[in-house]
Structure 1
Amino acid sequence: MSWTMWLVPPIITSIFFVLGIITLYWSIFTWVTAKVESSSKPHNLKRVQVLLGTTCAVVSVFALQLIVRDTHLSWTFTNFQLLLLIFVAYFLQLKIPNWLILLAGVGFMLMNGNVTAVLSWGYTFLFVFFYMISYQQSTHLWRAPYTRYITVALGFGMALWLFVKFRFHLPWGTYWIEIADYAVLASLMYGYFRIQDKDRRIKDRLFQSANWDALTHVQNYAAYDHAIGYYFHAKCRPQEKFGNGHV
């Protein structure tokens, strides 16, 4: 995006782009969750979230990079990559093996044709370390969560952007503009997910109240009825095959 083509500041388009991707993810997640729940099968929402989050992150990063990899603007989506890392590690709390992230980074370098560049390897290893710290931070209930969050996000973001700056010989003006845009987008993501998390906690409490007895903490009739319905449907499936002449 540029002023000469769109007459819109890049930060404005970036905000709509990032929030659009996040909204698209939650729409898909809600749709898949509704489908799973309506199928009367036992479901693990965390597993669904892990699968969707990982898929969206990998597809988004590689698909967007394919657009710009052969141009002098192949660094354009760096902020988006950093925000996706925060999205996966901090907000979704996806426990991905570090070797798998490193392998994805090597694949990313191979796709861009810079696997022999020393700065690219430095960026990749720091990117993996950023994921490790972000995930650890998300699993601990420390004080001043936003302060810790934005400090880690900006600290690693500035360090990673230094690799990009020297790798592509970017001017310092571009570097600081990208850092400022990144700080704004990271803050917006935090506020957005705080709202989502509050909504999720309310739904979890309602689910617990509907399926567990408050005094004895054992499952009630609603949970029992749901489990019986699942086993009944599971038991009926082989009989449907027999009825279709597969004996």
Structure 2
Amino acid sequence: MSWTMWLVPPIITSIFFVLGVITLYWSIFTWATTKAESQSKPVNVQKVQIVVGTICAIISVFALQLLVRDSHLGWTFVNFQLLLLLFVAYFLQLKIPYWLVFVVAIGFMLMNGNVTAPLSWVFTLVFVGFYVVAYQHSIHLWRWPYPRYILVALSFGMVLWLLVKMRFHLPWVTYWIKMADYAFLATLMYGYFKIQDKDRRIKDRLFQSANWVR
């Protein structure tokens, strides 16, 4: 294994990367809230979530893209970008101003040097639309949450990967492999957060029961 030869299957590295970013976010978020509380200052948890989540997502996306922006593999981290969007919009439910998402997307195009490419603008508009729809689905308690979640994730994912396929002239086999990886990772992320949410609910009930006994 080296910089020129990567022997680990992409799906394996993707799993560890996604879980690593999630862990990094929670670590920074916990540190930030604990630091503020130790100084006896009122903590607006929602604002802390927005700031930490936005910074982590932007740094992760831009840092990874810098590695491949001048190569023919500029599409390599598209799945990471889509999963980070789901992480921020659906699971963290961060209400980032839509204009800010659009501005960051334009900055991403400028970094890649493709701001004049029409397909890049279409990709950006669909990407922002993905954020808006994912966020709206996360804050409404509709029935069948997982089918709705995966339907939104795959619908936008297929359109965005189709635009990437057209721009980089990728073969259909690559398109479907990436879509399969994306579907698996999106489902894995959903299951991970469901387990986390269930664990949090159990701890809350135990805490309430302990206080009630007293």
- Superposed pair shares fold, TM > 0.5: yes
Q: Deviation per CA, 1:168-189, whole angstroms, max 9, x where unpaired?
A: 0000011001001101110111
SS at match of 1:6: coil
Change (3 A) 1:9 1:57: same
Where do 1:34-183 residues align within 5 Å?
A: 34-183=34-183
Post-superposition Cα deviations, 1:4-62, rounded to whole Å, max 9, x if no partner, equal 93332210111111111111211222222222233322212222111110110111111
C-alpha separation between the residues in 2 aligned to 1:37 and 1:194?
28
- Asked if 1:33 is matched to 2:33, the reply is yes
> How has the CA–CA distance of structure 1 residues 64 and 178 changed in structure 2, closer, same or farther, with 3 Å as cutoff?
same
The aligned runs of 1:178-189 (5 Å cut-off) are 178-189=178-189
Q: Secondary structure at the match of 2:5?
A: helix
Q: CA offsets per residue over residues 52-88 of structure 1, 9 Å max, x none?
A: 1011011111111111100110111100000111011
1:205 positional shift: 6.0
Aligned pairs (5 A) from 1:187-202: 187-202=187-202
Counterpart of 2:5 in structure 1 is 5
Code of the aligned partner of 2:149: Y
In structure 2, distance between residues paired with 1:88 and 1:207: 28
- Amino acid paired to 1:176: W
Cα 1:172/1:123, change in 2 over 3 Å? same
**Alpha-carbon shift at residue 209 of structure 1 (Å):** 8.2
Q: Which runs of 5+ in 2 are unaligned?
A: none
**Structure 2 length-normalised TM:** 0.90
The more displaced of 97-106 and 127-136 is 97-106
**Among the aligned pairs, what percent are the same residue?**
75
Paired residues in the alignment total 211
Deviation, 1:206, is: 7.0
Equivalence for 1:226: none
SS at structure 2 position matched to 1:136: helix
> Using the alignment, how far apart are the partners of 1:209 and 1:46 within structure 2?
27
* Cα distance, 1:50–1:199 mapped onto 2, change above 3 Å: farther
Residue type of the partner of 1:150?
A: I
CA RMSD of aligned residues (A): 2.3
Structure 1: gaps of 5 or more residues: 215-247
d(CA) in 2 for partners of 1:20 and 1:192?
Answer: 13
Distance 2:72 2:40 in 1: 52
